[in-house]
Amino acid sequence: MLPRCIAAARRAVDDTRAEQAVIQPAHGRGYRFVAKLLDAPGGRPGDAPAPPVPAADVPAATLGASGFVGRTHSLARLQDVHQRAAAGHGAVALIVGEPGIGKTRLSEELTHHIRELGGEVLVGGCYEGDGAPAHWPWVQILREAVAATGDTELRQQLGVGAPDLAEIVPEIRQRFDDLATPTGPSGEQARFRLFDAVSRFAVARSAERPLTLILDDLHWADASSRCAMSHAIHTPCAS
């Protein structure tokens, strides 16, 4: 609905998605009006625009927490997915839409909700362009988990996959310098061991409290990151 409304608004003011001279997407927030304001509503050319209405004067029905509006239904659906996952029924949800529609902001609101309930959220973002290492979103997720966990608990969660995970997250080997170099077949089998180690780590970590993994801008993910996600989806959750 919103993309169609924005397209109609652009046609009305002779703007295009390519030019974006009047309406531009604001990443993670929605859209913004960028053209020069000539007339104030009900005033004369050159008059100063009317001051914005304070948030306190906006009806509660139109103002969400932290200014989050218009996507309460989507947020409610994601909260329901989390509730079922917290009950032991793992799930995957995809947030799709045009750039600037507010996908990242929706993820931020979901993260705030989950953390308020005592759950854990780990986030990894995919990089647009060349130069990002393989498995980049998973590297970020693992680094965040490693930094937030004590040695004893972390070693238990890493399990036998610790040497494989240390190959993409050097911080793990810095914490545990006794880790051996991974042994066994290389190539595709080594990739499978890594994917399995990532999945088992997530399962072990979710045994303590509900765990949500957010992969932002997944359409930019490299093939290895997508394969790791596919493997994780098909790995049984902790009971």
Domain hosting 128: range is 71-233
Q: What is the pTM of this model?
A: 0.68
- Boundary residue ending a domain (59, 88, 108): 59
**CA geometry: angle 218, 219, 225, nearest 5 deg:** 55
pLDDT of residue 139 exceeding 90, the answer is yes
pLDDT of residue 195 exceeding 50, the answer is yes
pLDDT of residue 20: 73
Give 146's pLDDT tier (boundaries 50, 70, 90).
Answer: very high
Tell me what the mean pLDDT of segment 34-55 comes to. Answer: 51
Q: Report the percent of the chain where pLDDT is more than 70.
A: 74
pLDDT of residue 62: 33
- Boundary residue ending a domain (11, 31, 59): 59
d(CA 107, CA 13): 31
Tell me what the mean pLDDT of segment 104-130 comes to. Answer: 90
Is 64 a domain residue? no
Element (H, E) at 120: strand 120-125
Tell me what the mean pLDDT of segment 163-183 comes to. Answer: 92
Ranges of H-type helices in the chain? 2-12, 72-86, 103-116, 136-147, 151-158, 162-166, 170-175, 188-206, 223-233
Tell me what the mean pLDDT of segment 192-221 comes to. Answer: 92
Q: How many residues does the chain have?
A: 239
Give 49's pLDDT tier (boundaries 50, 70, 90).
Answer: very low
Task: Give the three-state DSSP class for 6.
Answer: helix
- Boundary residue ending a domain (16, 34, 59): 59
